[in-house]
Amino acid sequence: MRDTDGMAFIGSELDRAQELRTDPEALAALAAAGRVLPFWRGRPLIGAEAAGWLDAGHPILAAAAETVFLGRLDGRGMFAADVSARPLEAGAAATGSSFDVGDLADPEAPAGLAYADLRQQMTALDPVEAELAATGRALLEWHRSHRFCAACGTPSLAVRGGWQRQCPACGAEHFPRTDPVVIMLVTLGNRTLLGRSPGWPPGMFSCLAGFVEPGETLEAAVRREVAEETGLRCGPVRYLASQPWPFPSSLMLGARTEAETEALTPDPSEIEEALWIGREELLTVFAGTHPRIRAPRRGAIARHLLAMWLADRLDSGDRLV
Ligand SMILES: [Zn+2]
């Protein structure tokens, strides 16, 4: 089991075996004996504490829209397959006791497995399985949403084990997207800033976050997002750590900054509520005893940054990951 305030999807040192992506024969040989993680509309097949790997040739994989190469583990090829075309009923509850009502059972899947929201299950997986699942989800969702050449509109084809799409008409090459998102721990003396967006689970607050814009530095994005969302002006920005966040294709860039102003004027289109919270009160949030505020999700970088701040480890030079 992982440290519950640590970050999911990092640190596994997965062997991505890039050299095999351009070697179709070697890749085909690896695929024939490979292990495949199926995804149904973004949800991996998953069990209580392990991903639901299937052997190549399993009936569930017969109609896969796309199969992508994730890397090599213990000498075997690891793949992900998009089986969204399987006629499952959305909303059908799985039988496993650890699953939510929204999880989906597949009549042909081994017992105890269901297609589940990776965010709900990410801390149950060990680091390498979590990285494989995150990589598979991000890559398959890119294929699902980039079926046509962006230059000429012709249907494009997946090549290089799924790490590129090629246009058969104009020859344009397209590569998987990763979208940088800044997420920042904003402090003011002994307090830190929390905000909540409309539509989040009831009571959940987190660090502010936002997409980096073209032509913008990470530091400028931090200051701009904080100013836009709360009206605060911030000082210098320091990068802390990153986390892949495949929902659908973000890379979270964790940073910290000190506010130079205090008054909060949330932009209601982005932030429902923003507040300053002291260490003692934040401890009750993490303990689950706060009457109103719930902590960010386990495994998410926001929770990790807040936990490190609470433990006073951000200025000590300790490694964060
Ligand atoms: Zn084209």
For the chain, give every domain's residue range: 18-139, 146-177, 179-310
**What tokens appear for 269 in the block?**
């289109």
Distance 283 CA to ligand 1 centre (A): 54
pLDDT at 63: 86
With a cut of 50, say whether residue 8 has pLDDT above it. Answer: yes
DSSP states of 169-199 as a string?
Answer: TT--EE----EEEEEEEEEETTEEEEEE-TT
pLDDT at 207: 98
pLDDT at 96: 45
- Rounded to an integer, the average pLDDT of 10-18 is 90
**Residue 248: cis peptide before it, omega within 30 degrees of 0:** yes
pLDDT at 317: 61
Distance 70 CA to ligand 1 centre (A): 26
- Rounded to an integer, the average pLDDT of 232-250 is 96
Distance 174 CA to ligand 1 centre (A): 10
Distance 211 CA to ligand 1 centre (A): 28
Distance 130 CA to ligand 1 centre (A): 34
pLDDT at 95: 46
- Rounded to an integer, the average pLDDT of 189-204 is 95
Q: Whole-model pTM above 0.85?
A: yes
pLDDT tens, residue by residue, 129-176: 999 999 999 999 999 999 999 999 999 999 999 999 999 999 999 999
Q: How far apart are the first and last CA of the chain?
A: 16
pLDDT tens, residue by residue, 87-116: 987 655 544 444 454 688 999 999 999 999
Distance 142 CA to ligand 1 centre (A): 17
Distance 144 CA to ligand 1 centre (A): 17
- Rounded to an integer, the average pLDDT of 199-217 is 96
Distance 159 CA to ligand 1 centre (A): 14
With a cut of 50, say whether residue 277 has pLDDT above it. Answer: yes
Distance 165 CA to ligand 1 centre (A): 10
The fold adopted by the segment(s) 179-310 is Nucleoside Triphosphate Pyrophosphohydrolase (3.90.79)
pLDDT at 98: 46
With a cut of 80, say whether residue 65 has pLDDT above it. Answer: yes
CB 52 within 8 A of CB 46: yes
Distance 145 CA to ligand 1 centre (A): 16
CB 202 within 8 A of CB 228: no
- Rounded to an integer, the average pLDDT of 308-321 is 76
Distance 148 CA to ligand 1 centre (A): 8
Q: How confident is the model at residue 22 (pLDDT cuts 50, 70, 90)?
A: very high
Distance 176 CA to ligand 1 centre (A): 16
CA angle 35–37–41, rounded 5-degree value: 160
Q: Which residues face 245 on adjacent strands?
A: 250
- Give the list of residues 6+ apart from residue 200 with CB closer than 8 angstroms, or none: 206, 272
% of the chain exceeding 70 in pLDDT = 93
Distance 21 CA to ligand 1 centre (A): 22
pLDDT at 1: 33
- Rounded to an integer, the average pLDDT of 304-317 is 86
DSSP 109: S
pLDDT at 49: 81
Distance 268 CA to ligand 1 centre (A): 41
Quote the mean pLDDT of the chain: 92
Instruction: Phi first, then psi: give them for residue 50, nearest 5 degrees.
Output: -155, 150
